[in-house]
Amino acid sequence: MREIWIFKISAASRNFSNSIARHVRDYGKFSIVSTTIAARVSHPTGLYVLFFTEMWERYSFYSMMAILSLYMNEALHFDIAHVGRVYGLYTAGVYFLPLAGGLLADRLPGFNRAIIIGGVLMMLGHLVLGVELMPFFYSGLVLLACGSGLLKPNVSTIVGNLYRSRPELRDQGFNIFYVGINLGAFVSPLTVSWLRAHYGWSVAFMSAAVAMLFSLVTFIGFNRYVAEAATKVPKTSTEARTIRPAEARSRVITLLAVFAISTAFWLAFYQIFYTFTFWARDNTATTVAPERFQVFEPLGVIVLSPALVAIWMWLQRRAAEPSTPVKMLLGVLLCAGAFGTLAYAGSIGGDTGRVSPLWLIAANIIIALGEIALSPMGLSLVNSIAPPRSRGLLMGGWFVSLAVGGYLSGYIGAYWDRMPHSRFFAMVAAILVGTAVPLSMMAPQIKRTIRRAEAEERVAAQ
């Protein structure tokens, strides 16, 4: 029965990816959707195993994040500043520990074992968090952060490894994978909000453990489809030997620049689960539960990806398509525009009263466009240009950029009730613009490194 089930999923997902591929072309090696080849060459079955593994893992993560700030403020009676400190440290831990998790997988247990151990720790963390006592609260957060550190970078690394023999499909593979992430993020706030309203905090938190169980069952039950991609690259392999030490250093430096761009974006992005939640509760004219507004960002990612793809196509026909690093910088600037929108909403009434929920919805949609431009291509880029023997570590480095951004989001979010909301949103927008402008100067260096990595990958594949 398991074989029949996975092939049904695989066939449906292939049809989905092929329907996209008929309408798009290759916009450069790291575009939103890659090539029309997908209509003729299928994606590996392992992609769909990892799609559902990550979908359920992200469901568990975002369901907890949807209510975490509210729980600390309303149930544990933390003030806003303390909520910000705990939120920032937890988010930083979730995304910093993948650096250690990727390093451990590269050196010791391997990708498979790291993912399984991480999933078990996350499941336990959700169960512990559901016990409404202070020691269990912090213990649950620690377990969740440690589990995420082992699971997240290694799932993403295996996705890239599935495309060792077909690198031209890697970008599209990551975009299909990214749909799974956003499906989980879209459904989870709706479900956990209903559970919280009808059954309380404990059931809402513990429901995420069920999602992690589904994630583990999927990964373990169909592991044979990803087992080969989960093997580490030997030191003596052609893939490892073609990378010279100087080139490896250049690639790492390039990725550090990419991580800096990413950090600025995630600093703002994670306000969705923090200050945006309080804005929805206290400054928006609505009776809708504040955590439910979080669905609009992942919904925007799912629905608007084709629109952004169409823009890349239009620009490509006019030889004006931006490069991968420029697209990532565009994602940062779009996010700045979202915060500028909310700054204006605050200035016309949101600072002291309530304004239309359309302002918050619009900001979430704009951030979604920015995420489409930045995040899936960042994952693909890291896997493509990272030295083969350090892919797990450097994929962990990508998540460290999320960690730093998450920590800073909590740090600056502590100023939420110390200044007018319009000034707070304008401050975040200024940080984004101030980071994007100097980093744009590094775009030519990043493009050169990408071209060299592509050439060496083709040599290793021959």
What are the sequence ranges of the domains in the chain?
A: 27-33+42-461
Strand partners, 355: 284
Rounded CA-CA distance 286/277 in Å is 13
Rounded CA-CA distance 325/443 in Å is 6
Please provide the DSSP assignment of 64-103 as one string.
HHHHHHHIIIIIS---HHHHHHHHHHHHHHHHHHHHHHHH
Phi then psi for 186, rounded to 5 degrees? Answer: -75, -45
Give how far Cα 298 sits from Cα of 103, 178, 217, 284, 367, Å: 30, 10, 25, 20, 10
Rounded CA-CA distance 394/187 in Å is 30
pLDDT at 62: 92
pLDDT at 242: 65
Q: Are 374 and 328 in contact (CB under 8 A)?
A: yes
pLDDT at 353: 95
Rounded CA-CA distance 454/335 in Å is 30
Rounded CA-CA distance 228/162 in Å is 8
Rounded CA-CA distance 140/146 in Å is 10
Q: Which parts of the chain sit beneath pLDDT 70?
A: 1-41, 109, 232-242, 457-462
Q: Are 56 and 184 in contact (CB under 8 A)?
A: yes
**CATH, range 27-33+42-461:** 1.20.1250.20
Q: Which residues lie below 8 Å from residue 141, measured CB to CB, with a gap of 6+?
A: 86, 90, 93, 125, 129
**pLDDT tens for each residue of 218-270:** 999 999 999 988 886 665 555 555 678 888 888 998 898 889 889 989 999 99
pLDDT at 462: 61
> Which residue has tokens 């905090």?
201
pLDDT at 41: 55
Give how far Cα 67 sits from Cα of 55, 136, 222, Å: 19, 16, 32
pLDDT at 389: 72
pTM summary value? 0.76
pLDDT at 31: 37
Phi then psi for 284, rounded to 5 degrees? Answer: -120, 135
pLDDT at 3: 38
